[in-house]
């Protein structure tokens, strides 16, 4: 949200909590989805996207999973890291690159 591009933020995958972002804008511009899979990145117990956002893949069928993101927890005495899932919702129709 604070970036120079001023991206819109959808909170918990729920557009009713994000009054400045519409589903149509997500379809037009695309989006990145981020969710906590596991507080311990080594854990085999991981929360899948469908459990966190049950209807997201149905609403955005072009959603593409990306490799997990491992982030160190900044305020832990041990060097613990969390595992975050990332998925990409490409614009629909896909954005065209400018011709040279």
Distance CA 41, CA 27 (A): 31
Q: What is the pTM of this model?
A: 0.76
Cα–Cα distance for residue pair 54/65, rounded to 1 Å? 15
* DSSP labels, 57-75: HHH-TT-EEEEEEEEE-TT
pLDDT in tens, the chain (100 residues): 556 766 677 666 667 767 677 888 888 888 888 899 999 998 999 999 999 989 889 989 999 999 999 999 888 777 889 999 999 999 887 656 667 6
CA distance 35 to 52: 8
Q: Which residues pair with 81 in a beta bridge?
A: 72
The pLDDT score that the predictor gives to residue 27 is: 86
> What CA–CA distance (Å, rounded) separates 35 from 64?
14
């Amino acid at each position: 949200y604070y970036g120079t591009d001023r991206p819109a933020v959808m909170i918990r995958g729920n557009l009713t909590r994000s009054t400045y972002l519409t589903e149509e804008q997500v379809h037009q511009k695309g989006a990145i989805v981020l969710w906590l899979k596991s507080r311990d990145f080594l854990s085999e117990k991981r929360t899948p996207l469908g459990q966190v956002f049950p209807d997201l893949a149905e609403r955005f069928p072009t959603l593409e999973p990306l490799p997990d993101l491992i982030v160190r927890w900044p305020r832990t005495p041990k060097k613990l890291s969390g595992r975050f899932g990332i998925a990409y919702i490409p614009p629909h129709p896909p954005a065209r690159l400018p011709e040279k």
